[in-house]
Structure 1
Amino acid sequence: MRRGLKNRHLQMIALGGAIGTGLFYGSTAAISMAGPAVTVSYLLGGIVIFLIMRMLGEMAVEEPVSGSFAYYASKYWGSFPGFLAGWNYWFNYVIVSMAELSVVGVYINYWFPAFPEWLSALICLVVITGLNLVTVRLYGELEFWMALIKIAAIVGMIVLGGYLLMTVPAGGASGVENLWAHGGFFPHGADGMWLSLAVVMFSFGGIELIGITAGEAHDPDRTIPAAINQVIWRILIFYVGTMLVLMALWPWNEVGREASPFVQIFSNVGIPAAAHILNFVVLTAAVSVYNSAIYSNSRMLYGLAKDGDAPAFLTTLSGHGVPVYGILVSSGITLIVVAANYFFPGEVFMYFLAVATAAAVIDWVMIAVTHLKFRQYIEREGKTTKFRAIGCPILNWVCLLFLAAVIVMMARIEGMRLAIVIMPVWLAAIYVAYRVRGAK
């Protein structure tokens, strides 16, 4: 593996991994549950994820290795937790890949209504897989520019939205009063806000990719802390600021699921050019997150194989230091989404979102617990770390309680209950595989 990722790459990889379909498309479901109070959901979720990222960051700075998440679980917690962490993270990003690809066709259909959704997913999969097979530097550059497009668009949207709100004539559909005029800021009460967290947390999946990049990060002692500290406040501004502007521009209860709410709202307020630009942006966002998913999946398989938890052929690197078989295996399994979109066009996104969220919660739980074990080890050895997490161990337990509440909320949402059934089956399958492989 080669340290070809610079600080600007890590910054954009973190932003790119977390700004995607969850915000641009999945936020519709969260808005329907919480109304304007969804901004509170994003704020709470963002704070918790920042704390978890500081936990991962403390470990990653001390030991910047590829596939770091599973490595730390194995070293500081035990053989099975490491096995579970690695395979669950891989599973999570396979499902995230499917979720992102499942809506590519929705965006393409905005321009070409007759174009098959399954074909859009297939074309995206083939192109991005091919680019990832070249070099890690090309991946970093590709993700840098795609993330930059998303960020520029969000900033531009907030600025344009703010301008429209200041210049809208009295009595128009747009206005800050939309934040409370349609049932209040909490139209479904605090319960609706808590329920929306089950959808909102999907949006934050991907930030932990900073830890996975540690093995290929240039000067990890400096770049990893900078990436974690700088990226979280930007994401909170983007998420909370974006939601406030969108729901002020148009009544929250009139946003449907036919397209991205970003595209719908700017089309409704009479700016078709902005709607087309934003549709291009949300398409880029989905491709960007899929690009990050392919990267993280292949590196996690590489780390698992090096640790003896996956077939040895997955450690094979190309001449450019790319884990080629890890990329091909992950992409091959992701082809399932093409078949799903062929047989059930427009119906599979929420199911993928639910399963991906449940898998992400398992990842975050394991980071928090592994960090507790890591700090116990550090204290026993009388060592100090370079990038300490905040409020350990109390905030570790607060984060764990918050994540347990997210699972409870998922169980209350009809479209997400499937994940509550699937995840125990998946965890049992991992345990059986671990026993068959033989405990180390």
Structure 2
Amino acid sequence: MSNKPTQEQLQPAPSNDAPQKLQRGLSERHIQMIALGGSIGTGLFMGAGRNIAVAGTSILIIYVLVGFFSYMVMRAMGELLLTRLDYRSFADFVSDYLGPKASFYLGWSYWLSWVVTCIADVVVCGAYMQYWFPEMSAWIPALFTLSILCLFNMLSVKAFGEAEFWFALIKVITIIALILTGGWMVFTGWTSPDGVTASVHNLTDPAVFMPHGITGFLAGFQIAIFSYTGIELLGTMTAETRDPEKILPRAINALPLRIVVFYLLSMMVIIAVTSWQGVSPDTSPFVTLFAKAGLPAAAAIINFVALTSAMSSANSGVYSSTRMLYGLSIEKHAHWQFRILSRTTRIPLRSLLFSCFCMLSGTLLLFLVPNVSTLFTIVSTLAAILVIYCWGMILVSYLVYRRHRPDLHQKSTFKMPGGIVMAWATLIFFLFSVVIMVFDPDTLAALAVSPTWFIALWLIWKIKEKRAGAEKREWNAKSASS
């Protein structure tokens, strides 16, 4: 029996109802909550401790800056996606404006960014489980979590959306409860068992603005960028969203308010209640806040919520990497089998299994680097570098779109604020964010490794071009002889 794909498998279906099309199973309720959950992830629950420890209260400025420019990326992406509703993801408009080679680089880099992010998330799941079981090896809950998520993603996209809705709702309720509880502690002058009094002074003390100087301030950018990883997840859901023209702008425009509420207010409360000196870089500051307040039961609940948050982020990673690999296969940038959908649930099952296998392999790094905090920093840095690259490609596509399709820009009802000037400013900011990773040993290690990925992509593309050229010459020779 031949292993060659059939003509039906090779060609994308012409309509939404055809067998090889993804289902539009995500409603506005799902998209809004997925967008909300995407901006509240492991970077906030786990990475905020390290960020506060190294940057002090200047971390608030960092999150505002990164949040602002991340929002600009989202606005550029939103304008481009809505110019054509047949775009499956932002990789499609990158292909249109920058060519298939750029789409190849972007698609595989974004796929890897989510594989790496998922590894970071399940590694952190291991750390959260050690809160209750200190003697347990972190790799055991990490592998168990990944296995569960892989099985769960074999269900329909509607089931994924429903799960992410409830995951996100848990995170939102928890953070709001933390802000309200912390605010009450500050208002009443709560004093913890170790003698720390909750006070606004802990937040306004000049000594903790940049406790480690400019070096500490710059070190805070990497985790801040990783924290916002996932906001662009909306750009991979267009093909499975019921009414993208209405839903996407609403979800994107809600981002600034989320940044203020969930990042700035929560960190202000954490520092005000626990003090900068009381924040540990190796544990979740959310758990620390309640533990120091003498509420171990509440701390355990928050640890559980942080665990579900990491699982939620990892779940998004499994989903997004699977859909990006599916899109790469449709564009013939990946093996044809990755575009085949399961008959019952209409999901790209082979893309899912391959992505999960890669995540599983990466999780085994816990055997080489058993310290969860160190491994999390290295892996999250690599994810941040890849995400910056993908965001940069979105912005470059926007600049080319503005140059070559001013007619589409004029007709757009969701224009990027600041247009070309803001796109260039955002590109420069993220380039600066990559450069400053040189100054921290852990981030430098990940930065030094990242070029090997792009060299590998270049080699694969050259092999792909050579093979395509050989096939074309063979076809021309057969045509000439016939």
Give TM-score scaled by structure 2 length: 0.88
Question: Is it true that 1:405 corresponds to 2:426 in the alignment?
Answer: no
Question: Is it true that 1:340 corresponds to 2:365 in the alignment?
Answer: yes
How far did residue 184 of structure 1 move? 4.0
* Alignment counterpart, residue 110 of structure 1, candidates 121, 131, 138: 131
* Alignment counterpart, residue 387 of structure 1, candidates 409, 414, 421: 414
Aligned to 1:123: 144
Gap change, CA 1:381 and 1:95, over 3 Å in 2: closer
Partners of 1:229 and 1:380 in 2: CA distance: 24
* Alignment counterpart, residue 428 of structure 1, candidates 455, 474, 482: 455
Question: Is it true that 1:255 corresponds to 2:279 in the alignment?
Answer: yes
How far did residue 313 of structure 1 move? 0.4
Aligned to 1:285: 309
Aligned to 1:75: 96
Matches for 1:80-91 after TM superposition, within 5 Å = 80-91=101-112
Gap change, CA 1:150 and 1:65, over 3 Å in 2: farther
Query: What is the percent sequence identity of the aligned residues?
Result: 35
Quick check: 1:314–1:325 contact (8 Å CA) kept in 2? Answer: yes
Quick check: 1:67–1:300 contact (8 Å CA) kept in 2? Answer: no
Deviations 1:3-60 (A, max 9, x none): 0001111111122222111111111221122101101110111000001100001111
* Alignment counterpart, residue 339 of structure 2, candidates 315, 328, 331: 315
Aligned to 1:60: 81
1:274 partner letter: A
1:81 partner letter: A
1:387 partner letter: F
Deviations 1:91-150 (A, max 9, x none): 100100111011111101111112221110111111111111110000000000001100
Partners of 1:163 and 1:56 in 2: CA distance: 40
Partners of 1:224 and 1:325 in 2: CA distance: 28
Quick check: 1:40–1:193 contact (8 Å CA) kept in 2? Answer: no
Aligned to 1:367: 394
* Alignment counterpart, residue 325 of structure 1, candidates 350, 355, 367: 350
* Alignment counterpart, residue 168 of structure 1, candidates 176, 189, 197: 189
Aligned to 1:221: 245
Quick check: 1:74–1:81 contact (8 Å CA) kept in 2? Answer: yes
Q: Mean Cα displacement is larger for which, 24-33 or 379-388?
A: 379-388
1:358 partner letter: I
Aligned to 1:419: 446
1:128 partner letter: L
Aligned to 1:203: 227
2:253 partner letter: N
Matches for 1:122-161 after TM superposition, within 5 Å = 122-161=143-182
How far did residue 83 of structure 1 move? 0.6
How far did residue 261 of structure 1 move? 1.3
Question: Is it true that 1:180 corresponds to 2:207 in the alignment?
Answer: no
Aligned to 1:378: 405
Quick check: 1:11–1:231 contact (8 Å CA) kept in 2? Answer: no
Partners of 1:122 and 1:172 in 2: CA distance: 38
Q: Mean Cα displacement is larger for which, 369-378 or 185-194?
A: 185-194
2:356 partner letter: S
How far did residue 381 of structure 1 move? 6.6
Gap change, CA 1:2 and 1:232, over 3 Å in 2: farther
Partners of 2:53 and 2:369 in 1: CA distance: 23
Question: Is it true that 1:45 corresponds to 2:66 in the alignment?
Answer: yes
Say how many residue pairs are matched.
440
1:157 partner letter: L
Question: Is it true that 1:242 corresponds to 2:276 in the alignment?
Answer: no
Partners of 1:165 and 1:254 in 2: CA distance: 15
SS in 1 for 2:455: helix
Quick check: 1:101–1:121 contact (8 Å CA) kept in 2? Answer: yes
2:269 partner letter: V
Quick check: 1:410–1:417 contact (8 Å CA) kept in 2? Answer: yes
Partners of 1:294 and 1:66 in 2: CA distance: 21
* Alignment counterpart, residue 324 of structure 2, candidates 294, 300, 311: 300
How far did residue 194 of structure 1 move? 3.1
How far did residue 272 of structure 1 move? 1.3
Question: Is it true that 1:437 corresponds to 2:464 in the alignment?
Answer: yes
- Pick the structure with greater CA Rg: 2
How far did residue 182 of structure 1 move? 6.7
